[in-house]
Amino acid sequence: MKTLILLSTWCAMLLAGIQHAFAQGIEFLDNEKWENVLERAKQQDKPIFIDGYTEYCAPCKELDKKVFPLPRVGEFFNRNFINVKYDIGTPEGKRIQQLFSDVITGYPSLVLVDKEGRMIHKVGGFREADTLIARMQAAMEGRGLAAFRARFRSGEDDDALMQAYFKALDEGYLRDEVVAVKQTLLERKPVEELLNPRHWRLVGDNVTTPFTPHFDFVVKNYIRIFSQNPGRAHVFEYQLITAIERSTHELVRANEEEGVPRVTNDPERQRRLLDYAKLDIRHAESIRAILEVHALKLAGEWEEVIHRLKAYQAIKAFNSADWYMEESLQYVAWHCKKKSVAREARQLLNALQEDKMAAAR
């Protein structure tokens, strides 16, 4: 009888100890040497859950306060993983960041690693308890970042995989990889796929580089793509015009060569930019005006440059590219050999600068 009582007492104490451990939430090792963590993972045949944090990280503190101490979180993580915290500011933490530099790109970085030290999944930022548990459970079942990466790199790219992969990347705050994967997907598929609304929603925001087959195709099919994405039509328009404006400004800006300002002569790019600017989109008139003046500068038609600059300034045709007016006047003043035209350019430039100073007062 006495033995039975002692056994019952011991079992109760053991159960209470287990419940107490889980009630404390996740039991973390603290900045443990990575070799020791791997050894423990192999001994217990468990993956490793890493909380990569910094002292100044507010979401990290929120996880410590609101999520990691919860009993259900402790029960799941303590049962399934070896859990370890790394302060990325410490030597061991910096080492962990280097080991997993492709995924530890911000804080907190919540990384699941197998017992051999290979990344399985990564979640970034603050996550509610149920979300965090669900993501780690899915990763253990083969639905984690590393699995999605491997499938995509092997050539898979069906809609279901890509949606899951992009969701994992978004939740991991891996923005550079999102861009790289979208670019790979763009290049992997025929350009005609951009007319598929599902494909456009996946990769359309990566079509931002003029003079590429994808950009040219989108410009030619602007109306159709615009009409297929009514909820994001304004975003699509902004995307195109921003890319075209950026390329136009890069083309026409003067560069110094041995102290002398020079403009780039690239007829093919000028022609294609003018073709893009035929679209019925905002700022198209500004692009056409800038390219027109650029062509006149290349031809050395200085009087006509001055005439066009004054006309376009009067109707505010340059929009956000007011710098182009000033730069063009400086260019004429420098290169024009006709004194009266060069003098007019300097006078207009002085008046422009005085107006800017007055507006700033």
pLDDT tens digits, residue range 135-169?
Answer: 999 999 999 999 999 999 999 999 999 999 999 99
What CA–CA distance (Å, rounded) separates 172 from 127?
Answer: 11
Instruction: Tell me which of 116, 141, 166 is where a domain ends.
Output: 141
Are 122 and 112 within 8 A, CB to CB? yes
Same domain? 95 vs 17 = yes
What is the number of domains present in the chain? 3
Same domain? 249 vs 351 = yes
Same domain? 162 vs 276 = no
Instruction: Tell me which of 141, 166, 194 is where a domain ends.
Output: 141
Report if residue 81 sits inside a domain: yes
Instruction: Tell me which of 209, 232, 259 is where a domain ends.
Output: 209
pLDDT tens-digit readout, 30-48: 999 999 999 999 999 999 9
Report if residue 103 sits inside a domain: yes
Are 265 and 298 within 8 A, CB to CB? yes
- Is the pLDDT confidence value at 20 over 50? no
- Is the pLDDT confidence value at 16 over 60? no
What CA–CA distance (Å, rounded) separates 249 from 317?
Answer: 14
- Burial pattern 245-283, b for ≥16 Cβ within 10 A else e, equals bebbeebbebeeeeeeeebeeeeebbebbeebbebebeb
Same domain? 114 vs 202 = no
Same domain? 95 vs 170 = no
What CA–CA distance (Å, rounded) separates 80 from 219?
Answer: 52
Are 78 and 21 within 8 A, CB to CB? yes
Q: Is the pTM of this model over 0.85?
A: no
Domain that holds residue 273: 242-360
pLDDT tens-digit readout, 70-103: 999 999 999 999 999 999 999 999 999 999 999 9
What burial class does residue 172 get, using C-beta atoms within 10 Å of its C-beta: 0-12 exposed, 13-18 middle, 19+ buried? buried
